[in-house]
Structure 1
Amino acid sequence: MIRGMDHVGITVPDLESASRFLVEAFGAIALYDNMTRKKPPFAGPEAEATLGLEAGGAVIAMRMLKLGFGPGIELFEIRAPDQHPPARASDFGLQHFALYVDDIEAATRRFTEAGGTLLTRPRAQLGIEEGEGNTFCYGRTPWGMTVEFLSTPNTRTIDAQSPTPRYQPPRT
């Protein structure tokens, strides 16, 4: 039985600058480094088979970060011969992660001050997620990955049509 999501893995071009951005933009806390530059990269046929790396790819470093009450973020700095930019909303696969915030204006301001770029200003949620105070917007990290900010204090319409209440992180 699945108990919940543990973490989201993200490949970044530079582990240190991505970690710094996540700390400054979201208040993330670095928990531990699972692979460091002090050891040889995880590479070769075993790494390729284990992680699904492209031939010639190598994991240079890995770091686990804690982000609020949600799942962790595991950063991978990987080098490979044919790397591509992050997925867009129209591409297949994981294309963004969403952060629940109580104050979307403060959260997006912190994000842009840390070097992120907003795609729009915060706006009302759409469809079944409409409700007083329900807002969202998307932004991009300095390396181009998409992040969504959302605040959904009013879930009456959602909960009335769902078999179980939508997840909301606990308040501090």
Structure 2
Amino acid sequence: MAGATFSHIGITVPDLEKAVEFYTKAFGMYHIMGPAEILQDDSAIGQMCDDVFGKGWGSFRIAHLSTTDGIGVEMFEFPKTEPEENKFEYWRPGLFHFCFQDENLEERIKIIESLGGRQRMEQVRHYYPGEKPYRMVYCEDPFGNIIELYSHSYELTYSSGAYV
């Protein structure tokens, strides 16, 4: 059996239009569809949402984006979604972060900050100082979701044993 490939990630945000603007401008994502409203009903999507969310979810808004390499990003806005202050608790189970790759981290950080995000680390870090140009930094989107940026691919960064 062949290995699975990554298709998409879903992110809940308190402001769907702002999220679409941020991710399309900050990362050059394609805006594929939406925002659209999904209602609890007997449609295929309504029934699927009943299965996932349980009965009584009511409605939500959704938009679909795609990275330049074809990975989907679904943005969800639920009626009860509220902005949170400092929601990051690294020890809790669940999604910790997701990562984008860009050789020009410093320019990408400037774009993120200009759109309401922030650099979470004081500086860009080098995995192999003086040896290899592999760099990384953690940032946040305007809603506090953690975004890591790598200068090089995951395989290159870790194939040399970044921690050992």
**Equivalent in the alignment of 1:29:** 30
The answer to whether the aligner puts 1:41 opposite 2:39 as a matched pair is yes
**Equivalent in the alignment of 1:106:** 107
Change (3 A) 1:96 1:160: closer
1:28, 1:157 → 2: CA distance?
24
What's the offset of the Cα at 1:154? 9.8
Change (3 A) 1:122 1:61: same
* Counterpart secondary structure, 1:36: strand
Change (3 A) 1:158 1:142: closer
TM, length-normalised to structure 1: 0.73
What's the offset of the Cα at 1:138? 0.7
**Equivalent in the alignment of 2:69:** 69
Show the 5 A alignment for 1:1-172: 1-33=2-34, 36-37=36-37, 41-42=39-40, 46=47, 49-52=50-53, 56-69=56-69, 71-80=71-80, 85=84, 86-120=87-121, 121-125=123-127, 132-152=132-152, 158-159=158-159
Letter in 1 for 2:60: I
Percent of counterpart pairs with the same letter? 23
Residue pair 1:59, 1:77 contacting (<8 A) in 2 also: no
Letter in 1 for 2:66: K
What's the offset of the Cα at 1:79? 2.4
**1:17-43 deviation digits (Å, cap 9, x = unpaired):** 11011112111111113x724xx6337
Letter in 1 for 2:75: L
* Counterpart secondary structure, 2:78: strand
> Where does structure 1 lack aligned partners over 5 or more consecutive residues?
162-172
1:154, 1:5 → 2: CA distance?
14
TM, length-normalised to structure 2: 0.76
Residue pair 2:11, 2:75 contacting (<8 A) in 1 also: yes
Change (3 A) 1:91 1:131: farther
What's the offset of the Cα at 1:155? 6.0
**1:24-81 deviation digits (Å, cap 9, x = unpaired):** 2111111113x724xx63379956642235x64344211110112152111111124x
2:143, 2:41 → 1: CA distance?
23
Residue pair 1:62, 1:76 contacting (<8 A) in 2 also: yes
1:134, 1:14 → 2: CA distance?
34
Residue pair 1:87, 1:94 contacting (<8 A) in 2 also: no
2:157, 2:141 → 1: CA distance?
32
Q: How many residues align?
A: 154
What's the offset of the Cα at 1:91? 1.8
